Structure 1
Amino acid sequence: MTQTTAAVPAGSRVDQHDLRRTNLGLVLRWLRDHGPRSRATLAAEVGMTRSTVSSLVGELSDRGLVRIGNEQRGTVGRPGLAIELDGRTVCGIGAEVNVNHVSTLALDLSGRVLAEHKLALDAHDVPVEDVLDRLAGLVRHTIADLQSQAITPVGLTVGIAGLVDRVNEVLTHGPNLDWRDVPVGQLLRTTIGNDIPIVIDNEGNLAAIAEATPGDADRQDILVIFGEIGVGGGIVAGGRLLRGRQGYAGEFGHITVQPGGRACGCGRRGCWETVCGLGALLELAADPDDPVRNPASALDDRLTELNRRADRGDERTVEALTAVGQWVGVGAAMLTNVLNPAAIVLSGYFAAVGHHMQQEIETQLAAGVLAPDAGGTRVEFSRLGFGAAVRGGALSALETVFNDPTSVGPRSAEGAVLS
């Protein structure tokens, strides 16, 4: 590489503080995306001198963001000490409001889970303020867990099912929650009673952020389809989340696949989620009084029971999964014709029972995509399941550190972060 500093356009008027901050962020992101590196390797890969990298690493270490690990071997010459992400003194918190639960998750820079809480509820039967109160209680509990470990949260990102006005922090329309024009950000700030920065986002977008693994070339052009009561998701192209003009991209569940079909919570008919959302599957698979259709029961347990029935060959369950799998494939083919992603990652409830649907999904994808071999698009299942959105929230909150490592103060002699 020929560059000698961070990627700052030639002739730009950037003062030394801004240049330093840019270079710190570049090094921190490089370690996140590519893993531990020696100073020499890091310098060669980012195009800086070794002395510059050593100085940057020293400052990042002082701020508790990197640490010196084991010797890096397998290179020519004397092995160097590997620099790796640390960040044990700071973290991001993700939170989620969904139809069946509220949850929180805290992650450090390396992706280590520091705290996690989840509460099952039926949001339809609980007033909006009470749902947000319960979420706020989980957030306060999470913050207390972190304080006991001397860890400082740098931000909270809340994912919510529906159309989100991120600028005004308002859920404008949540069809499956049956919420409209809810000032989520304002209500949470009042209830949490903490000065932690709060961002409100769509849960499907956050799930996509969690699935787009940094440094993994196969996960930089993906379509994430997140299924629960509704169906949503996110589009990642070149490693970047595509939000659309006003931030409403990813509402896949409301593409029309069956004109004049079943009524949807959005007020239209024939939406994709009416034939492949969780409600559609449960109606096909079980009678109304069956325990798997009881919204008061934990969703994980209900899906485990469906898998058990399918594994033993229960005819009704297998037929239901087959029918829904066909519809998933139909919609996936439509989206693939438009976007041609490297992979379609099925998340949420699809990840839990999708192995029973996979053959039908792939059959419909192959039949519905114009390009040969489905345009090279693979079908994958998330390993994060229902935790994708809340994990994406925590990762999103941590972006403030990667964008500006100087936002984290240096550590005191005792190891605490100085504000």
Structure 2
Amino acid sequence: MARNAPLDQQAIKRQNRRLILEALRRNGPSSRATLARAVGLTKSTVSSLVQEMLEEGLLDEGNQHKPGLGRPGTELEFSPEHTLALGAELGVENTQIVLLDLNNKIHGEWDWVESPYTPLAERISKLAEQVRIRLVDPTHLLGVGLAVPGVVSGRNLIYAPGPGWRNERPADLLEALLKVPTNVENDANAAALGETFWGENQSPLVYVVMTTGLGTGLVVEGQVYRGRLGAAGELGHWLTGQPKSRSGGGDVEDALSLRAMVRHYQAASGRQEGFWGILQRAEQQDPYALQALQNLAYELGRFVVNLCVTFDPAAVVLGGAGAEAWKWLEAPLRQTIRNLAFIPEHAEIPVKPSAFGHLAPAMGAAALVLQRFLANGGTREWSPPISTLGTRPTIGAPSMTRRT
């Protein structure tokens, strides 16, 4: 029993460090005394752990703060240099990268257009090259998070229908090139996590990605729900009608997607504008464009009502390019929900556009890394984590440890 004591003490220390770091992330710069009150630890314990993290470079001391009587306390905050994570979204037709720290300060963002036919290995190689161009030493990063448009199981990308990727290991590929720990997640799941990690922690939260297709992500109590095989949330492929086979059936995306909206608009108007052109036409009060957006709002409202009886969420967030149409969608969407809601409480379900716009999946991917870092008490050790947010990064999926 005595042999296990040092390990037990180390686990307690990491747990207490996690509490302090989580309080800093939630409340912003705080004094030692404020942190001690927030986490329920003694001032001496907090001071000792804070001193340790200052010496590691994890925390910085900032301005003096005097809330009332007594000596002023020095505020602590995360060191930007030592809490950097990189989030990358591998979209079907673009790559988006964001570099940010635990203070939620963005240090850089860049993107470029891609062909949907580019092999994944080529996409990963270009991503690593761009990172090395912009960062002197990528190994200083806490990690890299990858958001991909498909079904993810563990570190495997099972299937991404847009670009046609199957049975790939993108995290392993990038990790080998950059020598930095890498996580991979479905883009909608990553974006959903970002909304709760960086913003208000409403639970459950459903994130709806509306682009050429449709995807959803679900976060419950700070954890992504992925299902047994990682396919939870692929509701755009929910079958409709009475198909006899997958190939012969229609799905939700046929009615609720930007691709469907554009197709219907072009058929009704005889014009050839795409999504962004339709928004420009709507600004000019074009009746066909306005009708197309109203139809989209109706389909989205029906979908939200179905989400309510499926997940009973606290909030629904709209992301992807579809969120750019929010000013046209909001009123008819809310009316549709009120008309179709199953119970009165669902009629007033909060629905809002993403707080992070086009950066949402990439910021969520970075949050994957930072959540794991915090769960480990602010250490770079990926195994074993000392918080359930580290040991169970997802609900419904088996526990995973990073391969060495």
Give TM-score, length-normalised by structure 1: 0.81
Distance 2:330 2:8 in 1: 54
Q: Aligned AA for 1:224?
A: Y
Deviation at 1:375, TM superposition (A): 5.4
SS at match of 1:249: coil
Deviation at 1:338, TM superposition (A): 2.2
CA contact (8 A) 2:207 2:216 kept: yes
Distance 1:63 1:381 in 2: 39
Asked if 1:138 is matched to 2:124, the reply is no
* Superposed counterparts of 1:383-398, under 5 Å: 383-398=355-370
CA contact (8 A) 2:124 2:170 kept: no
Which residue matches 2:153?
A: 165
Q: Aligned AA for 2:39?
A: V
Deviation at 1:387, TM superposition (A): 1.4
Which residue matches 2:390?
A: none
Deviation string 1:273-317 (CA, Å, 9 cap, x unpaired) is: 221112112222347997744xxxxxxxx63x4332212101121
Which residue matches 2:91?
A: 98
Question: Relative to structure 1, is the Cα distance of residues 73 and 227 closer, same or farther in structure 2, using a 3 angstrom cutoff?
Answer: farther
Which residue matches 1:175?
A: 161
Asked if 1:380 is matched to 2:352, the reply is yes
SS at match of 2:251: coil
Asked if 1:153 is matched to 2:141, the reply is yes
Deviation string 1:137-166 (CA, Å, 9 cap, x unpaired) is: 233322442327x98112112111111122
Deviation at 1:180, TM superposition (A): 2.5
Larger displacement relative to structure 2 (266-275 or 232-241): 266-275
CA contact (8 A) 2:204 2:314 kept: yes
Distance 1:368 1:348 in 2: 25
Question: Relative to structure 1, is the Cα distance of residues 380 and 12 closer, same or farther in structure 2, using a 3 angstrom cutoff?
Answer: farther
Could you list the runs of 5+ residues in structure 1 that have no partner in the other structure?
A: 1-10, 294-301, 409-419
Query: For this pair of structures, how many residues does the alignment match?
Result: 376
Deviation at 1:392, TM superposition (A): 0.6
* Superposed counterparts of 1:304-343, under 5 Å: 305-343=277-315
Distance 1:307 1:79 in 2: 54
Which residue matches 1:31?
A: 24
Distance 1:133 1:40 in 2: 51
CA contact (8 A) 1:221 1:343 kept: yes
Distance 1:259 1:111 in 2: 45
Question: Relative to structure 1, is the Cα distance of residues 57 and 189 closer, same or farther in structure 2, using a 3 angstrom cutoff?
Answer: closer
Asked if 1:246 is matched to 2:234, the reply is no
* Superposed counterparts of 1:19-418, under 5 Å: 19-123=12-116, 126-129=117-120, 132-147=121-136, 152-166=140-154, 169-189=155-175, 193-213=177-197, 216-217=200-201, 219-256=202-239, 258-260=240-242, 267=247, 269-286=249-266, 292-293=273-274, 303=276, 305-374=277-346, 376-404=348-376, 405-407=378-380
**What's the % identity of the aligned pairs?**
28
Q: Structure 1 stretches (4+) deviating beyond 6 angstroms?
A: 287-291
Distance 1:353 1:181 in 2: 35
Question: Relative to structure 1, is the Cα distance of residues 241 and 185 closer, same or farther in structure 2, using a 3 angstrom cutoff?
Answer: closer
Give TM-score, length-normalised by structure 2: 0.84
Could you list the runs of 5+ residues in structure 2 that have no partner in the other structure?
A: 382-404
Deviation string 1:213-265 (CA, Å, 9 cap, x unpaired) is: 45735x34321111112211211222332222333222121224x4159x99x
Distance 2:158 2:230 in 1: 12
Q: Aligned AA for 2:125?
A: A
Deviation at 1:80, TM superposition (A): 1.9
Q: Aligned AA for 1:158?
A: L
Question: Relative to structure 1, is the Cα distance of residues 75 and 138 closer, same or farther in structure 2, using a 3 angstrom cutoff?
Answer: farther
Deviation at 1:382, TM superposition (A): 0.8
